[in-house]
């Protein structure tokens, strides 16, 4: 969910500033080779206080049925109940599940199938779309070229989705141009998937608006023409899963995340200072708010720290759609959320500025938004 770059020393590793590695060639994350070794490289070993817990109890997450809300004959009572459940979740931890969401099982299945095909390709083929330093899209084998410590045990492919009539096929064009026309089927599937995620995101924004006492259309209108990010996550098995993490503890800097997990456990959320698990549900999407929406809500709804763990037996995959506003749209809360008791918590900013901050200056954690606000004092819009 990013002008000079900051590098941390070993004495500063408790700080969350970006660590861009050392002068040596970056480590190549090739799990099929690394898993032949008895131990994982030190760069993937996390500090003791951040190592995964052996057991994480299940988190009670509200299950929100959207069937009635999405229908043309939606009843006021169903809409009110859905917004109430979302408010309850966002006041506790910012995570909830949605079912009967209108996304076809076939499309979800195809998205998972093509993700498996991509990550099964030889490393050299995947590296054709290698993510460049300072950018948020492309292929990343762990983040070996970006960080030198606390590396995540994963591969990702990220690409942009633009809900703009002037750029109707952003995703499909990316796959064709970056990987070749033989990848057009992948592009078509992920284009359709992103369009479905964008539609669902805007409907959830209606419920978030209602839950905050703002008009139903306010946040929906704000995110029309969204400039979002789609990410395919692949977590290979790891011979030492108790030493590393698939994704480190962080809050999403984006606005809203819609995640679909495969059948393997891995997602954990920090609630009341305890890591708790959200088990996969093939019929449900996991939804959570991010830092940008926390700013839009004037801190009424807070983004929540979460992470992904790995295991020694099974690979794990997930599909993550990160809703982001149009890059030049100014992020500020609506007047309904401001008064003498609750003044502005964060300065005005654009998504492009927060994205630059997280990609070039700061490794996302639970303090990203506050650190970004402090950074803005030296870089006004």
Catalytic residue numbers, as ranges: 316
Could you give the 3-state DSSP secondary structure of residue 67?
Answer: helix
DSSP category for residue 127 = G
Could you give the 3-state DSSP secondary structure of residue 371?
Answer: helix
Structure tokens, 48: 């003791």
What's the rounded Cα separation, in Å, for the pair 185 and 336?
Answer: 45
**210 contact partners, CB below 8 Å, separation of at least 6:** 79, 80, 83, 216
Give, in order, the Cα–Cα distances in Å from 259 to each of 42, 76, 95, 225, 286: 30, 27, 11, 21, 5
Buried b (16+ CB within 10 A) or exposed e, 241-261: bebbbbbbbbbbbbbbbbbbb
Considering only the C-alpha atoms of the chain, give the largest distance between any 2 of them, rounded to a whole number of Å: 62
For residues 255 and 269, the answer to whether their CB atoms sit within 8 Å is: no
What's the rounded Cα separation, in Å, for the pair 5 and 358?
Answer: 11
Structure tokens, 377: 């004092």
Residue written as token pair 């259309």: 217
Q: Which helix (H) or strand (E) holds 65?
A: strand 63-65
Radius of gyration, alpha carbons of the chain: 20
For residues 285 and 229, the answer to whether their CB atoms sit within 8 Å is: no
Give, in order, the Cα–Cα distances in Å from 178 to each of 47, 118, 126, 135, 175: 37, 13, 10, 15, 5
In total, the chain counts a number of residues equal to 381
What's the rounded Cα separation, in Å, for the pair 163 and 161?
Answer: 7
């Amino acid at each position: 969910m990013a002008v000079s770059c900051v590098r941390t020393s070993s004495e500063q590793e408790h700080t969350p500033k970006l660590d861009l590695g050392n002068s040596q060639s970056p480590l190549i994350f090739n799990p099929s080779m690394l898993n032949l070794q008895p131990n994982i490289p030190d760069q993937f070993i996390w500090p003791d206080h951040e190592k995964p817990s052996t057991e994480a109890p299940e988190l009670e997450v509200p299950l929100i049925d959207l069937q009635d809300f999405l229908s043309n004959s939606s009843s006021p009572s169903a809409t009110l109940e859905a917004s109430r459940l979302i408010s309850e979740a966002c006041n506790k931890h910012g995570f909830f599940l949605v079912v009967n969401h209108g996304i076809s099982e076939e499309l979800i299945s195809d998205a998972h199938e093509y993700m498996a095909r991509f990550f099964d390709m030889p490393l050299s083929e995947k590296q054709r779309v290698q993510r460049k330093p300072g950018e948020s899209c492309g292929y990343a084998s762990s983040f070996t070229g970006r960080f030198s410590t606390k590396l995540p045990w994963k591969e990702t492919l990220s690409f942009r989705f633009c809900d703009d009539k002037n750029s109707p096929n952003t995703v499909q064009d990316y796959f064709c141009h970056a990987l070749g026309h033989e990848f057009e089927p992948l592009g078509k599937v992920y284009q359709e998937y992103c369009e479905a995620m964008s539609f669902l995101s805007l409907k959830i924004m209606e419920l978030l608006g209602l839950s905050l006492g703002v008009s139903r259309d306010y946040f929906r209108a704000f995110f029309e023409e969204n400039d979002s990010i789609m990410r395919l996550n692949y977590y290979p098995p790891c011979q030492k899963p108790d030493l590393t993490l698939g994704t480190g503890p962080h809050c999403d800097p984006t606005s809203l995340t819609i995640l679909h997990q495969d059948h393997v456990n891995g997602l954990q959320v920090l609630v009341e200072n305890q890591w708790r698990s959200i088990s996969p549900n093939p019929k449900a999407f996991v939804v959570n708010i991010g830092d940008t929406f926390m700013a839009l809500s004037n801190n009424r709804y807070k983004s929540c720290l979460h992470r992904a763990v790995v295991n020694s037996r099974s690979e794990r995959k997930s599909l993550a759609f990160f809703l982001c506003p149009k890059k030049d749209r100014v992020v500020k809360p609506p007047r309904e959320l401001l008064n003498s008791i609750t003044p502005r918590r964060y300065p005005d900013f654009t998504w492009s500025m927060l994205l630059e901050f997280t990609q070039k200056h700061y490794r996302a954690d639970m303090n990203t938004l506050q650190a970004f606000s402090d950074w803005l004092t030296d870089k006004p819009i």
